[in-house]
Amino acid sequence: MKHIFIIGVGLIGGSFALDIKKLYPESTIFGIDTNASHLDEAITLGVIDHKATFEDLDKADLAILAIPVDASLEILPKVLDHISDTTIVFDAGSTKEDICAAVKNHPKRRNYLAVHPIAGTEHSGPKAAIHNLYKNKTNIICEVEETAFKLQEKALKLFSELGMRIRYMNPKAHDKHIAYVSHLSHISAFMLGKTVIEKEKNERDIFDMAGSGFESTVRLAKSSPAMWTPIFKQNKTNVIETLDEYINNLKHFKKLMEDEDFDAVYKEMETTNHIKDILNGIQ
Amino acid sequence: MKHIFIIGVGLIGGSFALDIKKLYPESTIFGIDTNASHLDEAITLGVIDHKATFEDLDKADLAILAIPVDASLEILPKVLDHISDTTIVFDAGSTKEDICAAVKNHPKRRNYLAVHPIAGTEHSGPKAAIHNLYKNKTNIICEVEETAFKLQEKALKLFSELGMRIRYMNPKAHDKHIAYVSHLSHISAFMLGKTVIEKEKNERDIFDMAGSGFESTVRLAKSSPAMWTPIFKQNKTNVIETLDEYINNLKHFKKLMEDEDFDAVYKEMETTNHIKDILNGIQ
């Protein structure tokens, strides 16, 4: 792997770049981004070696697409148009159904692997890129059988070197389940932040009372709207389903409190404490 | 400060015990708890030196009440009945209106300081006790003027030695604001955990897809129902108000998605990103 192209040099693409450069010191990392200042920043920070254009993609051994999921629908076909027969391309988007559909009939479909690394932080941009972001993280691969065997192998070798564990799913199941364990968490955090900020308008000093519990629960409300809006748009049906269930659970909890049924309130929490074992299981 | 009594030898009381022993190595730490195995565990772990009873409280220089807020309403008057005129007693409960009312007319009201240290973890019991839990944390003191001046001074000296910053509030304002920045976060996390666990019943492997974002947002769902049920009961009116606002914000977000108004979805998140500055401010 000599020529690596990172399309979108932010947290996700930049973190791939840093680890790949460490694994393959002789490789050259090229960056493509619509944001010129991000490209300059990525060079200054040593995240990429050179700027590049789509025309340069014919020399790519590997191209990683790490841009908002709406842009991916347009850019992935364009990337496939420019690469050689031996290039492997993967994306890192949080939705998989639309992107798999977008390239279903592309002549270079077999050069593409649909990937979702379950990794990230609430920060964004090239300066958010870090080493080892992907270590011990789950990497979901969809429609693996649509990718050429030799190119699958190339990508899987890299994921293994990065320390990731692989799970195979179909795009429909991926989008449904990820709505629960990822997309809903973000809305829950954003709306918690909103509820408290709205209060603060009138009542000063309220944040002086906030501790680490609030901070942890609201952390994802720092996330990038430019990244998350297209995810919610693409995964609209599933996300609305999770929101319906979440709102119903909150209403039920409120009703128990209004009815002063605190035995039931206790049981709601006791049952959910089971999350401890589940979270231990995923660590 | 020679004789320190910790009533409730769990996370909160035990962490006070550990730091006080370090600050005052010549002091003796006595533990009172209805849970006999917790007392034994606290001795084994070196969290307390000896078990004690309410009758021993007459020799206390300091007594700290760190038990569920419903139990505090009964136990605080009993503690005040047993102490000497020079003992300072403070509690650590997450609600302040009911407890201040409960001892309003007690002859030893001036020996009590109403305190809420904004500190904790999602763990509980003596084994959860840790050093430096209170360092750089906010400590809210209510009705300070109801406590004898010399005893205020004694407590404030300790809080300063523990590294806490002090905020003074009235109990009503405390309970209203803490509902937003603490109590609502817990319900939000518990119901998120519930929503995802319910899904998992039918769909295996879903948690394999969960990453650090979900883990952070759901962390508080590990909290103790025995501690939290009485808090929600005592702060019912305020908590229901925050739940109403939170549910309305979630419904509004869902409506924007249903209407496909993704510009507005973007703006909801962009506005709430302001939480970054606020959280930086509290660190």
Give the domain ranges of chain A.
Answer: 3-170, 174-282
Domain A3-170: CATH superfamily is NAD(P)-binding Rossmann-like Domain (3.40.50.720)
ipTM > 0.90, yes or no: yes
Q: Can you give the pLDDT at residue B206?
A: 75
Q: Which residues of A touch B273 (CB under 8 A)?
A: 221-223, 225
Interface of A with B in 40-79 (CB under 8 A): none
CB atoms within 10 A of CB B152: 17
Identify the bridge partners of residue B3 per DSSP, sorted by sequence position.
B28
In this complex, which of B228, B232, B276 lies closest to A222 when CB atoms are compared?
B276
**Rounded distance, CA A119 to CA A7, Å?**
18
Mutate to test the interface with B, among A190, A251, A268 (most CBs of B within 10 A): A190
pLDDT digits (tens, 9 = 90+) for B9-52: 999 999 999 999 999 999 999 999 999 999 999 999 999 999 99
Exposure pattern of A165-177 as b/e (b: 16+ CB <10 Å)? eebebebebbbbb
- Please choose, from the candidates A191, A225, A236, A186, the residue with its C-alpha nearest in 3D space to the C-alpha of residue B249: A191
Q: Does residue A89 contact residue A112 with C-beta atoms inside 8 Å?
A: yes
Predicted pLDDT at B275: 86
Q: What pLDDT does residue B207 have?
A: 75
The pLDDT mean for chain B works out to 95
% chain B with pLDDT above 90: 88
Cα–Cα dist B225/B231, whole Å:
10
Residue B73, token pair as written in the block: 């309403």
Enter the DSSP assignment of A181: I
Residues of A in contact with B276 (CB under 8 A): 222
What pLDDT is attached to residue A166? 95
DSSP secondary structure, B67-91, as one string:
S-HHHHHHHHHHHHHHS-TT-EEEE
Chain A residues with CB inside 8 Å of B177's CB? 199, 203, 205-206, 209
Q: Which residue has the tokens 């004690």?
A: B52
Cβ–Cβ < 8 Å for A66, A12: yes
Residues of A in contact with B233 (CB under 8 A): 260, 262, 265
- Distance between CA B273 and CA A128 in Å, rounded? 16
pLDDT at A199: 83
CB A30 within 8 A of CB A5: yes
The answer, for B207 touching chain A at a CB cutoff of 8 Å, is yes
pLDDT, averaged in runs of 10, over chain A (283 residues): 97 98 98 98 98 98 98 98 98 98 98 96 94 96 98 98 96 95 96 90 72 90 94 98 97 98 97 84 54
According to the model, what pLDDT value does residue B277 have? 80
Strand B165-169 vs strand B28-32: parallel, antiparallel, or unpaired? unpaired
Render pLDDT for B73-115 as a digit per residue (tens, 0 to 9).
Answer: 999 999 999 999 999 999 999 999 999 999 999 999 999 999 9
Task: Look up the CATH superfamily of B3-169.
Answer: NAD(P)-binding Rossmann-like Domain (3.40.50.720)
Q: Does domain A174-282 have CATH number 1.10.3660.10?
A: yes
- Two tokens, residue A207: 């944040």
Side-chain-side CA neighbours of residue B139 (13 Å): 26
CA-based torsion, B34, B36, B37, B41: positive or negative: positive
Residues B229-243 pLDDT 10s: 999 999 999 999 999
Closest alpha carbon within chain B to A277: B222
List alpha helices for B24-61, DSSP H. Answer: 36-44
Selected residue of B181, B216, B277 to mutate for chain A interface (largest A Cβ count, 10 A): B181
- pLDDT score of B281: 60
Q: What is the pLDDT of residue A100?
A: 98
* B272 near A CB under 8 A: yes
Is pLDDT at B125 greater than 90 in this prediction? Answer: yes
Whether A3-170 and A174-282 share one fold: the answer is no
Strand-pairing partners, residue B59, are none
3-state DSSP assignment of residue A62: strand
